[in-house]
Structure 1
Amino acid sequence: MESLGYLQQVVDYLNEAGISSTIFTGVRPDPDVALITEGLKLYRESGADVLIAIGGGSAIDSAKGILYFAWKLGSAPGEEIQKPLFIAIPSTSGTGSEVTDFSVITSNGEKVVVIDEFIAPDVAILDSTCIQHVPQRVIADTGIDVLVHAIEAYVSTNANDFSDALAEKAIKLIFENLEILYKDPKNDEARDRVLNASCLAGMAFTNTGLGINHSLAHAFGATFHISHGRSNALLLNAVMEYNADLSGSSADSAAERYAKLAGVLQLPTRTKREGTVNFMLAVKQLKKALGVEDHIRALGIDQAQFANGLEHMAETAMLDRCTPTNPRQPSKDDLMQILKKCF
């Protein structure tokens, strides 16, 4: 954001309005507690009334982390600090973090999900010019992350009419525009649509929670340092197959929901099983068009390494805050089997 000039644009707008600002540019991918501590020190020194996050998921998550710890560490029992006006400007179409009360912070090598209404941004500014320089692989990874957000919100145990409407629209926009954007990042309309889809999916899942696709992606991504979107993409079809119980009766609610999504995409859906299979096939074809690998091993991860980390990843995913709203409650062994299938 700094090298592309977008940071300076924000500062210039503030200067024109007579508003002074302090800049923190120490954000790194997968923000950890040390990074949050650095930012928190600067935030406290600034005495800021407004907090602006501009960048991808890591930048917005960092701002949320700074805000969260300022609140927890800065207020005495029974007191509440005055929350600054929090503005988020996303530079990727993926996390939906600009409209959620979720933040993912790394602590001792593990990704920890923080969920609290206090850290939700007050204002989200969607400007697709901020994402026009995103590399193709990031377009694919973040775009699939949007799709997973919407799908998991749709089958969540907390899904409702409002979240369904947001999720359905996000999924439709992704299938209609993501491949176009991947092949032509300069396509303004596709870029706008994918950014809108990201925001819609964020609004959906912040109201419903997510599921084991994210729980496993957090654990797998942290273990092997694979991007969050790519981790989600590699796990998606196996998770849907598990949730829909395709090896069993396909009679559960998740299969019914996946079949409805097939209908949204105008795919054959005479039965729940047919709809689910067709929706999963459409997802697989989209991932292939975006250059997503078929299996985890294609990333060059050693089988012995993977086997050594398997149980720990499953245990971590069981404790993840995204797991309780999954439509089918897994055992640790279930999660290990899903990971093995993806390898």
Structure 2
Amino acid sequence: MSTVDTTNYDSTDLNGFYSWTETLRGIQYGPGCLETALPKFLDLIGAKKALIVTGRSLYEKTDVVKQVEAVLMKRDAYGGVFFEIGQHSPIAGIRKAQKLFKEAGADVIVAVGGGSPIDASKAILYNLQKENGGPLLKQIAIPTTLSAAEYTAGAGFTNDEGHKIAVADPQLAPSAIILDAKLTLATPERLWLSTGMRAVDHAVENLYRPQVPPPLKHLGYAALADLFVNLPLSKANPEDVNVRQKLQIAAWMSLWPQRFEKYSAVGLSHSLGHKLGATYSIPHGITSCLTLAPVVALKAETASREDKEWLANALFYLRIPPSGSIDKDILILSDAIRNLVRNLGLASTLAEYKVPKEDLPLIAEKALGRADDPVHSKVVKLLESLY
């Protein structure tokens, strides 16, 4: 006689708030949807001339940007392309793109690529609004990675001193998003899979991030289930467009668009990634590969009962038998994340990126927001373990 495991920790956070972002007009998804989706969205938001914002590699080494250019030219809506957006969105590139946007007489940005061009485009539009007044102009995002920057209303970029800073406004969220998996085929494997781990990071940290309501946490569970299945499948068969499309949808579920009543802090893995990424030139996807599993393990020691319950229940969606102990279940989840990173060929160390050990206390302090945080010493030890 078979039995059904009834372990289900009783989360009790039944109070909260949810609102859809004001800006997003639509998400079109499906292999090959670019040609019909982009004209539709231009009409929907009333845009006449678009500047494409992207990175150099995508522009010079693939035909992805040329496909977008062709659609815009067919509509007589092409205002040029700026392809000097680097990793972590340096401010120098943002300034150049602002100048080109004005010279082209553009009224919309079409951001093509990963989180850097999408966040850079938000910063460009933010700065233009500060310069000129009036409403924020709009962005159409065409992501080719799984970093999910297109679903947020904030933008992170690197200032002249090499520090990651952010701007946020509900109107900065892209007005339209096009998820065309065919456009991701040219994305390098390491970038594709590591940004998939970034999506895993989003889904896991939303289980304990402040102000995330229960329905979105359950979407995070669904995202985790799909990411754990389809990331290895995509590594095994990179040309499978259907698997890639499923991963784009899973990344969407991992960071479902929402408006917060007030600023909602990111989780510790993201905060550490922000401090490590720009300063030491570590890609965001790789920072998630480094930090997420040990941060989850730390939560077994430091998290509230409520947050522990949400984390432990993730095992059900990953089809991993529970241990009967909430703290052990969180450690099992941490091991599952670590094994996924290893199986995807993404394991690395801080030593590989030449992060000085003497910097670790300051990195922990900046990630936590204060030097006297009760878990500061534990976070320093966590970072030491990444060598």
Measured at CA, do residues 335 and 219 of structure 1 come closer, stay the same or move farther in structure 2, by a change above 3 Å? same
Is 1:27–2:85 an aligned residue pair? Answer: yes
1:159-179 Cα distance to aligned partner (Å, 9 max, x none)? 212311321121111011001
Counterpart mapping for 1:1-343 below 5 A: 1-3=58-60, 4-75=62-133, 81-93=134-146, 95-107=147-159, 108-203=161-256, 209-245=265-301, 252-269=305-322, 270-293=324-347, 295-297=349-351, 299=352, 301=354, 306-319=356-369, 331-343=375-387
Task: Give 5+ residue unaligned stretches, structure 2.
Answer: 1-57
1:286-308 Cα distance to aligned partner (Å, 9 max, x none)? 111011226433x263xxx5222
Deviation at 1:222, TM superposition (A): 2.4
Measured at CA, do residues 144 and 28 of structure 1 come closer, stay the same or move farther in structure 2, by a change above 3 Å? same
Return the alpha-carbon distance in structure 2 between the equivalents of residues 319 and 311 of structure 1.
12
Measured at CA, do residues 262 and 206 of structure 1 come closer, stay the same or move farther in structure 2, by a change above 3 Å? farther
Deviation at 1:209, TM superposition (A): 4.9
Measured at CA, do residues 147 and 205 of structure 1 come closer, stay the same or move farther in structure 2, by a change above 3 Å? farther
Measured at CA, do residues 20 and 212 of structure 1 come closer, stay the same or move farther in structure 2, by a change above 3 Å? same
Contact (CA 8 Å) 1:244, 1:252: kept in 2 or not?
no
Task: Give 5+ residue unaligned stretches, structure 1.
Answer: 76-80, 321-328
State which drifts further: 233-242 or 45-54.
Answer: 45-54
Q: How many residues align?
A: 322
**Larger helix proportion, structure 1 or 2?**
1
Q: Provide the identity percentage.
A: 27
Measured at CA, do residues 330 and 200 of structure 1 come closer, stay the same or move farther in structure 2, by a change above 3 Å? farther
State the Cα RMSD in Å.
Answer: 2.2
Residue 97 of structure 1 aligns to which amino acid in structure 2?
Answer: A
Return the alpha-carbon distance in structure 2 between the equivalents of residues 176 and 123 of structure 1.
28
Counterpart secondary structure, 1:214: helix
Measured at CA, do residues 291 and 83 of structure 1 come closer, stay the same or move farther in structure 2, by a change above 3 Å? same
Return the alpha-carbon distance in structure 1 between the equivalents of residues 377 and 304 of structure 2.
22
Return the alpha-carbon distance in structure 2 between the equivalents of residues 120 and 300 of structure 1.
32
**Higher-RCO chain (CA-CA 8 Å, sequence separation at least 6):** 2
1:92-143 Cα distance to aligned partner (Å, 9 max, x none)? 12x2112211221011111113332121101000001111122221122111
Measured at CA, do residues 59 and 251 of structure 1 come closer, stay the same or move farther in structure 2, by a change above 3 Å? closer
Return the alpha-carbon distance in structure 2 between the equivalents of residues 237 and 99 of structure 1.
24
Contact (CA 8 Å) 1:11, 1:21: kept in 2 or not?
no
Return the alpha-carbon distance in structure 1 between the equivalents of residues 374 and 90 of structure 2.
28
In the superposition, the TM-score normalised over structure 2's length comes to 0.77
Measured at CA, do residues 121 and 209 of structure 1 come closer, stay the same or move farther in structure 2, by a change above 3 Å? farther
In the superposition, the TM-score normalised over structure 1's length comes to 0.86
